[in-house]
C-alpha cells in the first residue's frame, strides 16, 4: 500500500513538473509578446530585443545612420587618417536587412514557429546579418590624395583584326586598394559588439591584374589562326562560294566571360569567407585569369552574307503548272516548278558547327517547296481526268476590277476539295480589304451600286458555280445578284457572294478529291475541276428567261440533271433567279445632287 502511494506521488510530481515546464515554454513568449522582437537579437552590436515589429525598419535605419557616423582610422605605411564609416564606400541595404531579419525570426509565421524562434534566440542569441555593397572609387581617390599614391587602371589584353591579320594588344597591370581586405575589416568593425574594438583599418595597395591576360589573348589568337588556316566555302547543290578570309574573321566575336573556377567576389555576403580570405592575405585583386576570352560567332553577319551573296544564286521561284486534258490524259501545258531556297535557321547552325569542327566545306541545307498545281500533285491525289470547266467573260472590266479578279482567283488555285467535303467560297476567299491586295471597285450593296475593296469577286464565284454545276456536284447554297449584270451572261448562271453572307457552297459527291485550277486567258476566267470520273452524265437545261420587262427586271430558271453511268437519274436541281430592275440600284454617277437646299433637307 505504501509503495503504491509513493508511486502515485511521484507520478503527480512528474506531471506537475512537465505542466510547469510547458506553461513556462508557452507562457513566457506569450508574456513577452509576438508583436515584439525576441530577446538577445543584435544588429551591429546594438540590441533590437523588445522592439515592436512594426518599428523594426525604423530601428534598423537608425542603427545604420548611427553606424555611418562612427569614426575609424585608415592606416597606411605607419600613417593614420581619420574617416567616417559613411566615407569608406560601404552601402548598407536597410530594406534587405530588414526583410531577411523578419524571415529569420519568422515574424510572419505561425505562433508555434514564433515560440521556437523565441527560445532559440533567448538561449543562443541572434546576430543580424549585414547586407551591403562596397563602392571603392571614392575612397580610393581619398587615399590617393591623402597618402600621395598614384593609382592606375588595368587594361585587358584584346584581339585585333586588321587586313585579315590577327594580332594581340598586350594587357597592362594597374594598381589600387585591396577593397576585399578593406571591406572585410569595415564589416568586422561594424558587427563587433566589443566596446574596446580596434578602429584601425589597414590599407593595402596591390597590383590590379587585368581580367584578360596577355597569355589568354595569345591562346585565343592561336585558336583563331588555326580556325582560319584554310579557306572555307559554302556548297549547295551545284553552287560553291568561297568565303574571303576578311569576311570570315568579321564573323568572329570575342567575349569576356567570368572564369568559373574563380568565385572570389568583393561583395561576398559570407562574412566568414571574407575574413578567411583577408586573414590569409589572399585578395580577389591578386587572382590572375579571373576572366577568359570566349570565341563566339556573329550569326547576324552570317545571315546577311547568305542573303546578299548566296541566297539569290540558289533561290528558285515556285511556279504552278497549267494543266490541260488532252488525248484522254492530263498534261502540263505550262511546266510546274518547285521552290528551292536555303533553310536559313539550319544554315546558321551548320555554319557555326563547321567553325568549331573545322569543316572547311559547309553544306548548306536546302528546303524545297512544291507547287500547288503539278502532274506530281495529280498523281499523288490519284486524279485522272478533267471533270468540268467553268468559264466567264469579263470584257470591258476596268483596271481595278481586273486586278481584283486575278487576286481573288489565285486564292482558289491549287485547293483540294476532299470527297464528301462541303466547299465554302467565302471561307477559302478569306478577308477582302487593302491588306490582302484588293482595290476599290463597284459592288451591289443594299439599294446602291458602290465602290468597295474587292469589287468583282462575284465574277470569281459565278465561274466556280458554273464549274460545280457542270461537274454534277450538289450545290447547297447559292444566291443570284439583285439585278442582271452584263459580265454574268447568260443570266441565271451567276452566284453572288459577300462576306460573311451570302456564300456559295457545294459538296464534292464524286468518288475522290477534286483539284481546282484557276487561270485567266485574255478576258476569260476559267475554273478547272480535275478529279475521278464515275461515269456520271450531266444535262443542263436553260437558262430559260420569262417575265422579262422593259425596265430590265426578269426571272430565270437553270436546271441541272445528274445521271449515273447506267443512265439512272441521281438528282435534279432547279436554280431559280429573280432580278430587279437595275434602275433601283443606281451607280455613283447616276445620282445627281439636288440644287434646292430646302428640298435636300426635306429628302
Confidence at residue 508, expressed as pLDDT on a 0 to 100 scale: 96
Query: Of residues 9 and 31, which shows the higher confidence score?
Result: 31
Query: Of residues 132 and 261, which shows the higher confidence score?
Result: 132
Contact assessment for residue 174 and residue 154, using Cβ atoms and an 8 Å cutoff: yes
**For the residues of 85-142, what is the DSSP string, one character each?**
GGGGTEEE-HHHHHHHHHHHTTTTS-HHHHHHHHHHHHHH-EEPPP-EEE--HHHHHH
Q: List the one residue out of 68, 67, 60, 65 whose CA is nearest residue 42.
A: 60
Lowest mean pLDDT among 66-80, 446-460, 497-511, 582-596: 582-596
Cell matching residue 431: 478577308
**3-state class (DSSP) for residue 462:** helix
What are the DSSP E strand ranges found in 440-511? 440-445, 448-453, 474-477, 505-507
Tell me the pLDDT tens digit for each residue of 427-436.
999 999 999 8
Which distant-in-sequence residues (6+ apart) come within 8 Å of 181 by Cβ? 202, 204, 278, 283
**For the residues of 514-550, what is the DSSP string, one character each?**
EEEEEEEETTEEEEEEEE---S-EEEEEEEEEES--T
Tell me the pLDDT tens digit for each residue of 572-584.
999 999 999 998 8
Mean pLDDT across 195-219: 84
Contact assessment for residue 528 and residue 522, using Cβ atoms and an 8 Å cutoff: no
Checking if the pLDDT of 473 tops 60, the result is yes
Checking if the pLDDT of 323 tops 60, the result is yes
**3-state class (DSSP) for residue 338:** coil
Cell matching residue 391: 468559264
Tell me the pLDDT tens digit for each residue of 372-426.
889 989 998 999 999 999 999 999 999 999 999 999 999 999 999 999 999 999 9
Percent of the chain, pLDDT > 70? 86
Mean pLDDT across 52-66: 87
What are the DSSP E strand ranges found in 425-490? 440-445, 448-453, 474-477
Query: Of residues 32 and 241, which shows the higher confidence score?
Result: 241
Residue carrying the nine cell digits 582610422? 73
Instruction: Report the range out of 37-46, 206-215, 497-506 with the highest average pLDDT.
Output: 497-506
Domain boundaries, the chain: 1-25, 33-135, 158-218+252-297, 302-369, 384-590
Q: List the one residue out of 103, 101, 109, 106 whose CA is nearest residue 61.
A: 101
What are the DSSP E strand ranges found in 155-267? 158-162, 165-169, 174-177, 200-202, 205-208, 232-236, 239-243, 252-258
Please, which pLDDT band fits residue 193 given cuts at 50, 70 and 90?
A: low
Confidence at residue 281, expressed as pLDDT on a 0 to 100 scale: 39
- H or E element, residue 56: helix 56-69
Amino acid at each position: 500500500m505504501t509503495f503504491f502511494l509513493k508511486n502515485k506521488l511521484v507520478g503527480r510530481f512528474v506531471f506537475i513538473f512537465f505542466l510547469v515546464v510547458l506553461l513556462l515554454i508557452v507562457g513566457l513568449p506569450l508574456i513577452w509578446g509576438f508583436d515584439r522582437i525576441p530577446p538577445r537579437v543584435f544588429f551591429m552590436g546594438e540590441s533590437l530585443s523588445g522592439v515592436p515589429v512594426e518599428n523594426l525598419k525604423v530601428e534598423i535605419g537608425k542603427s545604420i545612420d548611427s553606424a555611418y557616423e562612427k569614426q575609424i582610422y585608415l592606416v597606411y605605411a605607419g600613417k593614420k587618417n581619420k574617416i567616417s564609416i559613411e566615407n569608406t564606400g560601404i552601402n548598407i541595404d536597410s530594406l534587405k536587412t530588414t526583410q531577411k531579419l523578419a524571415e529569420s525570426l519568422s515574424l510572419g509565421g505561425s505562433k508555434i514557429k514564433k515560440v521556437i524562434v523565441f527560445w532559440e534566440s533567448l538561449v543562443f542569441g541572434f546576430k543580424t546579418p549585414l547586407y551591403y555593397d562596397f563602392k571603392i572609387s571614392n575612397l580610393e581617390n581619398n587615399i590617393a590624395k591623402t597618402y600621395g599614391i598614384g593609382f592606375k587602371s588595368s587594361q585587358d589584353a584584346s584581339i585585333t583584326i586588321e587586313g585579315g591579320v590577327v594580332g594581340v594588344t598586350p594587357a597592362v597591370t594597374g594598381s589600387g586598394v585591396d577593397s576585399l581586405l578593406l571591406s572585410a575589416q569595415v564589416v568586422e568593425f561594424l558587427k563587433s559588439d566589443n566596446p574596446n574594438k580596434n578602429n584601425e583599418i589597414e590599407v593595402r595597395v596591390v597590383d590590379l591584374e587585368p581580367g584578360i591576360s596577355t597569355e589568354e589573348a595569345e591562346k585565343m589568337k592561336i585558336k583563331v589562326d588555326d580556325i582560319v588556316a584554310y579557306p572555307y566555302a559554302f556548297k549547295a547543290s551545284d553552287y560553291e562560294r568561297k568565303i574571303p578570309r576578311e569576311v570570315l574573321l568579321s564573323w568572329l566575336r570575342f567575349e569576356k566571360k567570368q572564369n568559373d573556377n574563380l568565385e572570389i567576389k568583393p561583395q561576398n555576403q559570407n562574412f566568414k569567407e571574407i575574413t578567411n580570405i583577408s586573414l590569409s592575405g589572399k585578395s580577389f585583386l591578386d587572382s590572375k585569369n579571373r576572366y577568359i576570352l570566349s570565341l563566339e560567332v556573329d550569326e547576324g553577319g552570317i545571315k546577311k552574307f547568305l542573303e546578299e551573296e548566296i541566297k539569290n544564286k540558289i533561290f528558285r521561284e515556285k511556279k504552278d503548272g497549267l494543266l490541260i486534258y488532252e488525248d484522254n490524259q492530263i498534261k502540263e501545258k505550262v511546266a510546274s516548278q518547285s521552290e528551292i531556297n536555303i533553310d536559313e535557321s539550319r544554315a546558321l547552325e551548320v555554319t557555326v558547327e563547321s567553325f568549331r569542327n573545322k569543316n572547311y566545306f559547309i553544306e548548306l541545307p536546302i528546303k524545297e517547296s512544291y507547287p500547288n498545281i503539278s502532274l506530281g500533285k495529280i498523281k499523288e491525289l490519284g486524279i485522272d481526268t478533267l471533270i468540268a470547266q467553268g468559264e466567264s467573260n469579263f470584257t470591258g472590266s476596268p483596271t481595278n476590277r481586273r486586278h481584283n479578279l486575278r487576286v481573288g482567283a489565285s486564292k482558289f488555285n491549287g485547293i483540294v476539295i476532299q470527297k464528301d467535303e462541303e466547299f465554302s467560297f467565302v471561307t477559302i476567299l478569306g478577308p477582302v480589304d487593302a491588306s490582302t491586295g484588293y482595290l476599290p471597285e463597284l459592288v451591289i450593296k443594299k439599294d446602291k451600286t458602290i465602290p468597295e475593296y474587292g469589287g468583282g469577286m462575284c465574277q470569281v464565284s459565278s465561274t466556280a458555280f458554273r464549274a460545280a454545276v457542270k461537274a454534277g456536284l450538289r450545290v447547297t447554297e447559292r444566291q443570284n445578284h439583285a439585278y442582271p449584270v452584263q459580265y454574268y451572261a447568260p443570266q441565271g448562271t451567276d452566284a453572288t457572294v459577300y462576306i460573311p453572307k451570302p456564300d456559295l457552297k457545294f459538296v464534292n459527291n464524286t468518288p475522290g478529291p477534286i483539284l481546282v485550277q484557276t487561270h485567266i486567258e485574255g478576258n476569260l476566267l476559267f475554273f478547272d475541276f480535275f478529279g475521278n470520273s464515275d461515269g456520271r452524265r450531266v444535262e443542263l437545261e436553260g437558262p430559260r428567261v420569262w417575265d422579262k420587262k422593259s425596265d430590265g427586271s426578269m426571272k430565270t430558271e437553270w436546271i441541272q440533271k445528274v445521271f449515273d453511268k447506267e443512265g439512272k437519274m441521281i438528282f435534279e436541281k432547279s436554280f431559280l433567279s429573280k432580278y430587279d430592275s437595275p434602275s433601283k440600284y443606281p451607280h455613283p454617277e447616276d445620282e445627281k445632287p439636288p440644287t434646292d437646299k430646302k428640298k435636300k433637307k426635306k429628302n
